[in-house]
Amino acid sequence: MSNRRLVIAGTGSGVGKTTLTIGLMAALRQAGYRVQGFKCGPDYIDPTYHTAVTERTSRNIDSWMLEHDMVREIVARTSEDADISIMEGVMGFFDGKNPLTNEGTTAEISLITNSPVLLVVNCASMARSAAAIVKGFQQFLPEANIVGVIANRVGSEGHYKLVKAAIEQECHIPVVGYLKRNDDLTIPERHLGLIPSIERGELTPFFEQLGKLVHDTIDIEKVYELALAPKIEINDPIFTKPSVPQVKIAVARDAAFNFYYEENFELLKAYGAELVEFSPLKGETVPQDADGLYIGGGFPEEFAETLAQQIDVKNSVRAAIQKGIPTLAECGGFMFLTDAIVTTDDTCHEMVGLIPGQVRMQTKLAALGYREVTGKPGNFLFKGDIRAKGHEFHYSTFHSEKEFSPAYDTKGMRGMKEEGYMNNNLIAGYTHFHFGSSTEMVENWVEQCKAVKKERRDAV
C-alpha cells in the first residue's frame, strides 16, 4: 500500500482549490504516478472529475456521516495499489457541520487519516499578508500537519517570489509553487451536462492543459516528497464481499441519475446484493428478475423531456414497484417517481406517476445541509429503530394535494421535519443517504428483498 497521501485544503471557498486539485492529479499522472482521488464531504460532482483524471474511482470520505474507522478503511483499502493519494478538502480547512468544532471538516479528516496538508492560498493582491493567513491556520490547530503551501492566483512570477519569501520566513514551511490568476482557467461544465462530457472524453484536452500548467510552476516531485505519511492500520474490515449474491438490485445509472456513493454499492454487495445497472435515458427497462430497485439522485430536470418520452421505462418502473420490490429513490429518483416535473420555463413533463404530486424547479436553492434521519413506522429500511445520516441539496420543491405517508423524520440546522414518501415497499425522498452511516439500512434492504423474493417464489 502507498504511504503517500496529501490533503489539499483551501483557506476558504473561492480559492480555486478544485481546479488546482485536478491540475495536481493530472500533473502527477503525467509524471508517471498512479493517483487515487478522494473528496471530503458530501459531494457527487468533484469525484467525477477525479475519476476522469486519474482513471480510478474517486471516493467520498466524510467524518460526520461516517465512523472514523470507516474513513480510515476507505482510504487504506482503495489506495493499496496507488503511488499517491490526493484528498480534496471541502470549503475552507476548518469549515464543516458546526462552526464551533472541527466536526466534519477537512482538518478533522487530516487528523483521522494522519495525512499531511498542502494549503492553497488565494494570494491575489497580497504579499506579506499571505504569511499571516498561513500562520493563523497553523496556530488555529497546531496538531494539523500543514507541510506546504501553493500560492494561487498570483499576478506574476515576481509577485509569487514575494509571497514565497514571506511565508517561508514566517511559517517555516515550503511554498512549492503557484498558479497565475487566470479567469479562463475554470472547470468547464461544472454543473449540468458533466457526466456526458466526461464520458465522451471532451474534457481530456482541458485536463492535459491544466496538468501542464501545474507542472510548469509547481514542484511536483516536492509535492510527492511532502506526501509521505504513516501507514493506516485496519483491524476489523467492514467491506467484504460474499461469494454468492443472494438478491439482485437494479440500479438506475446514467446522466440523469448518477449521484451515488461508491461505498453504498460496495456495502450492498458486502451484504449479499448483486447490482445490475440500467439507463432510463437510453430506454432500458427495469430487469424482470430484479428483487430490489435503487434510483439515485442526479439531474432528471435537465433530461425531463427525454424521460417523459420513455414510456416503456416508466411502465417498467411502475410495474416493478407495484409488484412490491423494495425500492429506494433519492432526490432525483424521488422526482422521477412523481406525477410530473415542472421546469423553470413552466413546462410540465409527465413522470412515472407513483407519487401523487408535482415537483417544481426553481432558480434558488430549496434545501442544503446534513441530515440526521429516523424512519417512520413501517419504513423497511429503518427496522430496529436505527438512525442514519445523509444530506439534502436541491433546487426543487414537492407539491401534493393528496394525503400521503412521509418516509422519514429528518433533523438539520433548522430543526426537525417530516420528509419523503412511503407506500408499502417504496421509500422515496430528497435525502441522500450514506449507507456507511448505518450499515443496518443495507442489511434491512437485502433482507426485505430476500423476503419478497421468497414470497414470489412460493406463490408460483
Rounded Cα–Cα distance for residues 163 and 391 (Å): 39
Largest CA distance in the chain: 79
Rounded Cα–Cα distance for residues 214 and 23 (Å): 6
Q: What angle do CA 180, 183, 185 make, to 5 degrees?
A: 75
Rounded Cα–Cα distance for residues 212 and 206 (Å): 10
Q: Which residues of 239-264 are buried (b: 16+ CB within 10 A; e: fewer)?
A: beeeeebebbbbbbbbbbbbbbbebb
The sheet with strand 59-61 has its strands ordered as 59-61, 35-40, 84-92, 5-10, 117-122, 146-154, 175-180
Q: State the sign of the Cα–Cα–Cα–Cα dihedral 8, 14, 15, 20.
A: positive
Whose CA is closest to 391, among 373, 405, 409, 370? 370
- Catalytic residue selected from 40, 123, 171, 331: 331
Task: Check if 331 is active-site.
Answer: yes
CA-only gyration radius of the chain, Å? 23
Query: 142 is written with which cell numbers?
Result: 497546531
Residues taking part in catalysis: 331
